Amino acid sequence: MPVLRHCLAVLLCAALLPAGAAFACPPDARPAPALATDLRAASRAQGRPLAILAIGSSSTAGVGASLGFPARLARRLVEAWGQGSVEVVNAGVSGESSPSTLQRLEAFMAHKPAPDLVIWQVGTNDVIFGNSPAGLGASVGRGLDAIAAAGARVIVIDQQYFPGIMDVPKYETFVAAVRDAAAARRAPLLPRYAMMKQWAARDPEGFRGLFSWDRFHMNDAGYACLADLLAFAILAAGGPSAPAPAAAPAPGQARQKPAARPQ
């Protein structure tokens, strides 16, 4: 069965990705450890959509593309599970670093009901704006503790690799801070940095095609890749499709959450 699942993932990846992006979305570039397979147990028992909160900075907000990864992820999941099966809230704020995101994340977790799953993209702006690896690791750890206390699941997305990194060794200390904080809590981590760096080495021209005009933010192809990788992991944990709840959001729709803290 695991072999069959792996083969299906390879076929899906090849079908969903734009030409030239094969190295960007290898079938083994998944969040690890895997999400538990009862991800949709509570939402199905309560007759409601699976609630996903995507929170982070510009990579979550979707800067550089016509559509960010949260909306693309919602479409992937609705295609698999049916209309009304999932609601994805986009709480990305461009330019935000981990201390500010942490404040918003803790407010979301204190606001009941908590989401079933949090996708937390974090870390790039901490390098740019002068945070320290220790400070970043502490913020990530505190945020993961808040998510766990609220009873939600989580996928952490670490920093992106991009052509303009001036000091790679320094940058990678921040990548390690996110990785270590997630590993200490057994939180699933999607290793975006390692994935993109490997692709850049294998296919430099194709790698450049992931970015928008500023060569920093991803474009539609980059966000599509990210959505596909997340969808594979979530579908594997969510089980088979089921009849949609009566109150259903539009197919493939993601809501943009205001930057203000929830009331």
Per-residue model confidence (pLDDT) at position 175: 97
**What's the whole-model pTM score?**
0.82
Residue by residue, DSSP assigns the chain as -HHHHHHHHHHHHHHHSPTT-TTTS-TT---BSPPPTTTTHHHHHTTSPEEEEEEESHHHHTTTSSS-HHHHHHHHHHHHH-TTSEEEEEEE-TT--HHHHHHHHHHHHHSSSPPSEEEEE--HHHHHTT--HHHHHHHHHHHHHHHHHTT-EEEEE-PPP-TT-S-HHHHHHHHHHHHHHHHHTT--EE-HHHHHHHHHHH-HHHHHTTB-TTSSSB-HHHHHHHHHHHHHHHHHHH-S--PPPSS-PPTT-EEEPPSSPP-
Could you read off the pLDDT of 168-186 as tens digits, one per residue?
A: 999 999 999 999 999 999 9
Could you read off the pLDDT of 171-227 as tens digits, one per residue?
A: 999 999 999 999 999 999 999 998 888 888 887 877 777 787 777 777 788 888 889
- Give the mean model confidence (pLDDT) for residues 58-87: 91
Per-residue model confidence (pLDDT) at position 65: 80
